[in-house]
Amino acid sequence: MSARPRVVFTGMGAVCGAGLSVREIWESVLAGRSAVQPLRRWNAQHWPVGIAAELHGVNNRTLVEDRKLHKMLSRTDLLGLYAAGQAIRHSGVVEHRQGLSPEETARFNDRSGVFAGSGGGTYQCNYDFFPLLTNAKGSMQVFGAEVANTVNPMWLLRNLPNNVLCHVGIGHGFKGTNGCITNQCISGVAAVAEAANAIREGEADRATVVGHDAAIDAETLVNFERVGLLAREALRPFDTDRDGTVLGEGAAAFMLETLDAAQARGATVAGEFLGSGSTTEATGVLDIRPDGGGLISAIRLALADANLVPGDIGMIVAHANGTVASDASEVTALRAVFPEGIPPVTGFKWALGHTIAASGVLDLALALKALQASVVPGIPTLRSLDPRLAPFPVAAAHRTPRGSTALVICRGFGGMNLAAIVRASAPSIGE
């Protein structure tokens, strides 16, 4: 039986409230800056929660230059296409393709896949209907007669969950295997895992992968607050005073390739995807097993997929969303998997907000930067570790990883858990 192909990262791109590239976001995290600020998108002065990690001062043409697409795409799509464009550009695959013969170009396109992870959509997709619903005063006959004259005819196209996937393929001529995953918070990192597996199975030589979401809208914040998930002032993972998460918006993307394909074209390799594992706790939409059972299984599956043991992990990027139950069960799970000692732990949502479907891909990108720099970034909002979680190797100050691999944890509603393991190469990509 031949060894499965090694899958490497040759391009990265990202955008969120902390910056317009992986480098900008990484530098912001290292400097201890948080994108969490008072809401600007609407007047939230009298709201119970009025903070978020918004992307400010960036117009749509910065994200996607083609103005014709702005009418057909939502904000989350624009973010996803921007990050994907960065990853493709930094990988150099388009320039490489330009030097191929027509026959080679056709095969190259057929062997280039696209995978996307998108959120489940926000309530904003329904707002176009509100004026007519008000004017119809409960009459579905009036509503039905006027809906075509009132609602934007591009409504359906704007809200397709696979917009980013199809426009990446259309824009770059990538015709290979593809998939769009809509599984709430784990969507983006699940797309990375699916793409890596497709490459390993010989379905493609390379794949563009992007996770994107724009969860900051009025009704989403209201409902998150009503079920007790949102923080009032800051996202403080593992802290005694943690009281919830903070919503953000953003996207992150990779170019994944077989190591052979990357080496054949002389590409710069930023790191390697080693393995992943995914489970569901099958408990409920908001319920989290306090014993961390689902997460324990996901991590052990990832270690087995990567052919590693717990002692091989150099650092951990935790989900670290700042909610009491999630943080506690995450600590319990890590103790079970690493009985000989948990590697240094960090998290990035304190700085970026919880970007839902984009969160796991952003964490993977920053994990690679952390390994390249040999730094486990601190969590400045951590003022006092919850004594019920102690001892636990998380800190406000930067530390040093104990190896060149990182375990990245992503969790979602419905008891979803996904663990991924990456190894970094030498610093390379100038995003």
Q: Which residues pair with 279 in a beta bridge?
A: 417
Low-confidence ranges of the chain (pLDDT < 50): 1, 428-431
C-alpha–C-alpha distance, residues 107 and 401, integer Å: 41
What six digits make up the tokens of 380?
């400045």
pLDDT at 431: 46
**Cβ neighbours of 199 (radius 10 Å):** 27
| pLDDT score recorded for residue 98 | 96
- Distance from chain centroid for Cα 142: 42
DSSP states of 18-67? TBSSHHHHHHHHHTT----EE--SS--TTSS--EEB---S--HHHH-S-G
User: Exposed/middle/buried for 33, CB within 10 Å: 0-12, 13-18, 19+?
Assistant: middle
- pLDDT number for residue 121: 66
274 in helix, strand or coil?
strand
- pLDDT of res. 257: 98
* Tens digits of residue pLDDT in 115-150: 999 987 667 777 778 888 888 888 999 888 888 888
Residue 302 contacts residue 321 (beta carbons within 8 Å): no
**Extents of the domains making up the chain:** 7-121+159-424, 125-155
Per-residue model confidence as pLDDT tens digits over 262-295:
999 999 999 999 999 999 998 888 888 999 999 9
| Amino acid 128: pLDDT | 79
Which fold is adopted by the domain 7-121+159-424?
Peroxisomal Thiolase; Chain A, domain 1 (3.40.47)
Enumerate helices (H) and strands (E) in the chain, giving the number of each. Answer: 16, 12
- Alpha-carbon span 309 to 159, nearest angstrom: 42
pTM of the model: 0.94
